[in-house]
Chain A
Amino acid sequence: MDFDDSPDEAAYRARVRELLERHASELVRLRPGQEAVDPRTSEAELRRTQRVLADAGLVGVAWPAEFGGQGGTLMQQAIVSQELARAGVPALINHIGIGMCGPTVIAHGSQDQRERYLTRLLRADDVWCQLFSEPASGSDLAALRTTAVRDGDDWVVNGQKVWTTLAHVADLGILLTRTDPDRPKHAGLTMFVVDMHAPGVTVRPLRQMGGQSDFNEVFFDDVRIPDSERLGEPGEGWRVALTTLMNERVAIGGAGGTIGLPVEAFVQHARERLPGLDPERQVLARQAVGRAVVAALGARYSGYRRLTALSQGGLPGPEASAGKLAGTEAARLVADAGVRLLGDDAVYAATGEGDDRWQRTQSWIPGIAIAGGTDQVLRNIIGERVLGLPPEPRSDKTVPFSGGRR
């Protein structure tokens, strides 16, 4: 057991640092106190940043070289992520493409699709989105209603997707559709790659509870998709989607930590704010800070354990769901303590000086407990797949979708 870089890892880290320094002027950087850069306002800079990083070999580090990756290890990927965070580079604009869509294309795409898409994905020449959820099917994804009907060499798609992160900047998406309503709901699905600029695709922004607009609703009106854009066989869409969902949980929670909230920044905030509180409140605030730090450390070190297991050849399993659950809880505690440390300003949307970082963070937490599998759905997965508890009775698994609940 050790937490130091091996000689190889240390050499790799040094090279990554050197590359980041060499390209520093070409990369978007977060200002102090800023945790994200909005693709709505900075799309071009964010695309350029990812392209520069990709050309330097710092994107898709653990992807096989034949798919445009570096053929490196997961440990190297983790090192790059750490160094990007350290250098203040914001999340890559194509994080959904890299984390979910790309691995799905690698696993289920044709050779032609892999060649056409993967290198462009890594360079953010194409930004990708994930078109799964619909107004009537989120957790119960297999109940989705968007249809694709075969017409010659094409499929014709009609329906609506919702909560689609990045659809407003995306060029491509992976789209889960129903192609056979007469089969049971999991059996009648098919996955496609869809061109977001195709005629009949309409993207409308949705506004989140915190006021920002990171996700959208997407309408499909007689959108034609060539059969060559199918991912996997007709009727195999559920199996393809499971690849995406598993990668999603690994991408969100698998690495451990507090899901994008750096605990060091929180501790720095506590360092600045604690002395200003009156002594009795300090005692209480330290309890909240301590609890948040313990949760964050638990999530971090559990992430190290998963990373170790994966780098020794383990496969990402349902345990990643535990990482997302624990990371969400840690993020909630960090955000809550962060706001409370503001004292009277905690009841406003920003401090008197206009700093709204902790309030924004607070209003973002409910979303992470929903996105990529709600807390409840993840508990079901862990209960059934890790602990081996019996599933709930399900009345809808075997009946034809069309004769089921519609």
Chain B
Amino acid sequence: MNFDLDDDQRDIAAGARDFFRGSASPAAARAGLEGGRPEPGRAALSDIGFLGITVPESAGGAGRTLLDLAVVAEQGGAVLAAPSLVTPARAAVLLAGEPELAAGLADGSTSFAVLDGSPDGSAPSVDAADATTFLALDGEDLVVGAGEVVPGRPLDATRGLASVRLTSRRVLATGAGELWARARQVGAVVMAAEDLGGADRCVQLGVAYAQEREAFGRRIGSYQAVKHLLVDAWVGVEQLRSLVWWAAWAADANPGELPLAAAAAKACAAAVYEQAAGTLVQVHGGIGFTWEHDAHLFWRRAKVDRLLLGDEAEHLDAVARLAVAGALGT
């Protein structure tokens, strides 16, 4: 057994950290709420190759594993980067039999979004707001098409959420229910990885503030009421990291475990990120409640992500059903 990233993955993470820190930020997420552009944006992500990480090399991608992608996604999540890597991960699964479309995904020439819910009026779907080409499940058919995009007023502008009604559709595959489900599980893992990055960052920022802010003649981090909030958030982040790595690994190395692992990771992510972001605001006191402070941008991401790709209750139910059906082994 060896449950750790390898050197290659650590290098990938370091590179992704540098890229995202230089190209995205909570400030950009704030600007997005006032009409600014998402950062780093699709073009920059495709230039650095992050839209094609799991696309096969034959289709112009890097042909790497979901774990490699999750390691990158964590770094994007830490600075609230947009668009999400959920879409390329999910679309790469759906387009496994469509090399030309997959090439458009990887090189950024086609702006894809994957729709949740009905193609005749979808649920709010990640990064649909500025997409032009939509993948959807129509009955049991996987379809691709153009659509009419109806964004809502964003709670978190970095998620690019919009409802879409397809205005054209071409069937890519019939009997695609299982493929669709797997793609959604992969998407859930990547979102959990982005949430891991965000939650981890919340703990770091909270700890940094608790080390310097003073009240009643002491640094606030010395008060247990503050310290224990941060510790609980950190312990949660560490549990989440284990589940995200396991789930991302399982997607390629042990696909039979993916449904259980993805549901566990996503359920854990929902709770952990909300806790960490709430803690970040609380530890900052009044300053943390201001528009200018970054805390609410993580908080917004947490409030939105916990409901996307299935909420905590849905995933807990899935975990229970799968476990009872024998997914843990005996």
Q: Does A383 contact B (CB under 8 A)?
A: yes
Are A301's CB and B246's CB within 8 A?
Answer: yes
A67-110 near B? 1/0 per residue, CB < 8 Å: 00000000100000000000000000000000000000000000
- CB neighbours (8 Å) of A307 from chain B are 1, 3
- CB neighbours (8 Å) of A383 from chain B are 221, 224, 227-228, 230-231
Q: Does A315 contact B (CB under 8 A)?
A: no
Bound complex: CA A3 to CA B246 (Å): 9
Interface-forming stretch among A236-244, A344-352, A387-395, A397-405? A387-395
Are A1's CB and B4's CB within 8 A?
Answer: yes
Bound complex: CA A325 to CA B5 (Å): 24
B315-329 near A? 1/0 per residue, CB < 8 Å: 111111101100011
Are A380's CB and B224's CB within 8 A?
Answer: yes
Are A9's CB and B1's CB within 8 A?
Answer: yes
Q: Interface residues of B, CB < 8 Å — how many?
A: 52
Bound complex: CA A169 to CA B198 (Å): 51
Are A390's CB and B211's CB within 8 A?
Answer: yes
Bound complex: CA A391 to CA B210 (Å): 12
Within A366-380, the residues touching B (CB, 8 Å) are 376, 379-380
Residue on B with the closest CB to A297? B264
Are B218's CB and A390's CB within 8 A?
Answer: yes
Are A308's CB and B4's CB within 8 A?
Answer: yes
B1-31 near A? 1/0 per residue, CB < 8 Å: 1111110000000000000000000000000
Are A3's CB and B329's CB within 8 A?
Answer: no
Are B316's CB and A290's CB within 8 A?
Answer: yes
Dominant SS among interface residues on chain B: helix
Q: Which of A286, A294, A390 contacts B268 (CB 8 A)?
A: A294
Q: Interface residues of A, CB < 8 Å — how many?
A: 52
- CB neighbours (8 Å) of B228 from chain A are 376, 379, 383
Interface-forming stretch among A50-58, A173-181, A260-268? A260-268
Q: Do A309 and B4 form a contact, CB below 8 Å, given A287-B317, A301-B246? A: yes
Are A290's CB and B317's CB within 8 A?
Answer: yes
Q: Do A274 and B1 form a contact, CB below 8 Å, given A286-B317, A388-B207? A: no
- CB neighbours (8 Å) of A291 from chain B are 267, 316
Q: Does A153 contact B (CB under 8 A)?
A: no
Are B67's CB and A1's CB within 8 A?
Answer: yes
Are B320's CB and A270's CB within 8 A?
Answer: yes
Q: Which of B219, B222, B328 contacts A293 (CB 8 A)?
A: B328
- CB neighbours (8 Å) of A299 from chain B are 239
Pairs A-B, 10 closest by C-beta atoms: A290-B316, A298-B239, A301-B242, A389-B221, A290-B320, A383-B227, A286-B320, A289-B320, A290-B319, A304-B3
Residues of A whose CB lies within 8 Å of any CB of B are: 1-6, 9, 75, 263-264, 267-268, 270-271, 274, 283, 286-287, 289-291, 293-295, 297-299, 301-302, 304-305, 307-309, 312, 322, 325-326, 376, 379-380, 382-384, 386-393
Q: List 17 A-B residue pairs with CB atoms under 8 Å apart, sorted by A's residue number.
A: A1-B2, A2-B2, A3-B1, A264-B329, A267-B328, A268-B330, A286-B320, A287-B317, A294-B267, A301-B245, A302-B241, A304-B3, A379-B224, A388-B207, A389-B227, A389-B230, A393-B218
Given contacts A270-B323, A291-B316, A301-B246, 5 further A-B contacts (CB under 8 A): A3-B254, A294-B316, A299-B239, A307-B3, A309-B4
